[in-house]
Amino acid sequence: MQNRISRLVKTGGFGHVEAVHLGGAFPVVIQTMWKDRLSYACIEGAAGEAVVARINRLKDMGCGLLRFAVPDLEAAEVLGKLACMVSMPLVADIHFDYKIALRCLDFPIAKIRINPGNIGGRDRVEKVLTRAAAKGVPIRIGVNGGSLPQELRRRVEVGELDRAEALVEAAERELAIFDEFGFRDVLVSMKASSAGETIRANRLLAERTDVPLHIGVTEAGPLIAGVTRNAAALYTLLSEGIGDTIRVSLSDTMENEVIAGREILNLASVSADVLNGDMVQPQRAVPDGVTIVSCPRCGRNGFDTHGFTARWLDYLYTLKKKCTIAIMGCAVNGPEEARHADLGITGAGGKVLLFRHGKIVRTIDAIDADIAFREELDTL
Ligand code: SF4
């Protein structure tokens, strides 16, 4: 199997908007999608400050692109204003109405996701492509198993195609239109709710085009099911060098989607380092960051590892330095794991011990654990 080096596509990089490169040998980019409807009230006053703070936090956690559903022209205006308030490249997700795409392109929106099959005839697609090309904004063709064209669905039903082949055919039809208009800044996603179909569709298309691929299992379910299904599909594809940007779709928070994406990328990257043979993933850098070791907790615990981990989780994923943090419950496994971490905290008898690079630096009461941990973390 050959390494897949896809075409390079740049998003953002204008004005205050950060540039993010997709494809080539650039790192795989993690995305998530805003979960609520945007309104003017969301971006004004204290609510607006909270939205900006959350977007900045997602960026610090490792999210490279943030997508928003844009169901109407008002949402386009709101997203356009929001794009002026943050440096994170924002992506507009548009269905059915090409005028919404055109309006988004009046703002510093970094990327457009459309399903050309549902935004009207070729003249409308051409209008969007012409404006996007003039602004240097890339477009993702997003094909979903749940919204395949009628004719392809029928061919699947009669057994002429399987669903993965139908996804590829739908994507190739759209790519042909983009090719015809000479539009090169294009990405493709083909998502199904089945890990197997997602893998097969992306493998098929990866052999036929150099277009960067956005990969993920869609409608993957709640946290545990969603992470498991996405990990199976994304680990497999990334280990084969397929995938330039990922989203772990979850019926859960954006923060957890980003964390799951980071963990999957780390896993694929470590495996590519360790194994030979079929593991041919290009050595694309994975940004430095935290590895969290935490115990599952049991009846021996003298320290609530679940509560402590939940309180610190998002913040730990904003750390830019490469470090291991251990959060352990008791003296059985705690001191050993904590000793091997850069910073470790463990229950031990009635007390809590803090380890730093293998040495005990504090012995404290559980009630003081958060403050002491913060002080040690800040100077790590
Ligand atoms: S470290 Fe202690 S509390 Fe945590 S799971 Fe192991 S034995 Fe239980």
pLDDT in tens, the chain (380 residues): 446 889 999 999 999 999 999 999 899 999 999 999 989 999 999 999 999 999 999 999 999 999 999 999 999 999 999 999 999 999 999 988 999 999 999 999 999 998 767 777 788 989 999 999 999 999 999 998 887 888 999 999 999 999 999 999 999 999 999 999 999 999 999 988 899 999 999 999 999 999 999 999 998 889 999 999 999 999 999 999 999 999 999 999 999 999 999 999 999 887 665 554 554 444 577 778 999 999 999 988 888 999 999 999 999 999 998 999 999 999 888 888 888 899 999 999 889 999 999 999 999 999 999 999 999 999 99
**Residue 353 alpha carbon to ligand 1 centre in Å:** 14
Report how far residue 67's alpha carbon sits from residue 185's, in angstroms, rounded to the nearest whole number: 17
**Residue 334 alpha carbon to ligand 1 centre in Å:** 7
* pTM (two decimals): 0.91
- The token pair that represents 24 in the structure block: 């080539």
- Gyration radius (Cα) of the chain, Å: 23
Report how far residue 129's alpha carbon sits from residue 118's, in angstroms, rounded to the nearest whole number: 15
Q: Which of 302, 323, 317, 297 is nearest to 369 (CA)?
A: 302
Residue identifier of the C-alpha nearest atom 8 of ligand 1: 298
**Ligand 1, closest atom to CA 301?**
3
**Residue 260 alpha carbon to ligand 1 centre in Å:** 24
Report how far residue 94's alpha carbon sits from residue 15's, in angstroms, rounded to the nearest whole number: 23
Pocket of ligand 1 (CB under 6 A): 295-298, 300-301, 328-330, 332-334
**Ligand 1, closest atom to CA 295?**
4
Exposure of 358 by Cβ count < 10 A (0-12 exposed, 13-18 middle, 19+ buried)? exposed
Which amino acid makes up residue 100? Answer: I
**Ligand 1, closest atom to CA 346?**
1
**Ligand 1, closest atom to CA 331?**
2
**Residue 361 alpha carbon to ligand 1 centre in Å:** 21
Give me the pLDDT at residue 2, please. 47
Among 309, 333, 345, which residue has the most ligand 1 atoms within 8 Å of its CB, making it the best to mutate?
333
Q: Which of 131, 142, 124, 141 is nearest to 109 (CA)?
A: 131
**Residue 324 alpha carbon to ligand 1 centre in Å:** 18
**Residue 349 alpha carbon to ligand 1 centre in Å:** 12
Size (the chain), residues: 380
Residue identifier of the C-alpha nearest atom 5 of ligand 1: 297
Report how far residue 124's alpha carbon sits from residue 318's, in angstroms, rounded to the nearest whole number: 41
For helices 305-316 and 254-274, the axis angle rounded to 10 degrees is 80
**Residue 338 alpha carbon to ligand 1 centre in Å:** 12
Residue whose pair of structure tokens reads 């890990």 in the numeric block: 195
**Ligand 1, closest atom to CA 334?**
1
In DSSP terms, 11 is beta-bridged to 20
- The token pair that represents 266 in the structure block: 């780390």
Among 293, 294, 301, 309, which residue has the most ligand 1 atoms within 8 Å of its CB, making it the best to mutate?
301
Per residue, the 3-state secondary structure of the chain, as one string, reads CCCCCCCCEEECCCCCCCCEEECCCCCCEEEEECCCCCCHHHHCHHHHHHHHHHHHHHHHHCEEEEEEECCCHHHHHHHHHHHCCCCCCEEEEECCCHHHHHHHCCCCCCEEEECHHHCCCHHHHHHHHHHHHHHCCCEEEEEEHHHCCHHHHHHHHCCCCCHHHHHHHHHHHHHHHHHHCCCCCEEEEEECCCHHHHHHHHHHHHHHCCCCEEECCCCCCCHHHHHHHHHHHHHHHHHCCCCCEEECCCCCCHHHHHHHHHHHHHHHHHHHHHCCCCCCCCCCCCCCCEEEEECCCCCCCCCCHHHHHHHHHHHHCCCCCCEEEEEECCCCCHHHHHHHCCEEEEEECCEEEEEECCEEEEEECHHHHHHHHHHHHHCC
**Residue 297 alpha carbon to ligand 1 centre in Å:** 5
**Residue 67 alpha carbon to ligand 1 centre in Å:** 40
**Ligand 1, closest atom to CA 305?**
4
Region of 357 (left: φ > 0; alpha: ψ -120 to 50; beta: rest) is left
Residue identifier of the C-alpha nearest atom 6 of ligand 1: 333
Give me the pLDDT at residue 273, please. 57
Report how far residue 125's alpha carbon sits from residue 103's, in angstroms, rounded to the nearest whole number: 14
**Residue 332 alpha carbon to ligand 1 centre in Å:** 6
Region of 94 (left: φ > 0; alpha: ψ -120 to 50; beta: rest) is beta
Give me the pLDDT at residue 147, please. 78
In DSSP terms, 346 is beta-bridged to 328, 353
Give me the pLDDT at residue 24, please. 92
Sign of the C-alpha dihedral computed for residues 346, 349, 352 and 357 taken in this order: negative
Residue identifier of the C-alpha nearest atom 7 of ligand 1: 332
Report how far residue 239's alpha carbon sits from residue 265's, in angstroms, rounded to the nearest whole number: 9
**Residue 328 alpha carbon to ligand 1 centre in Å:** 7
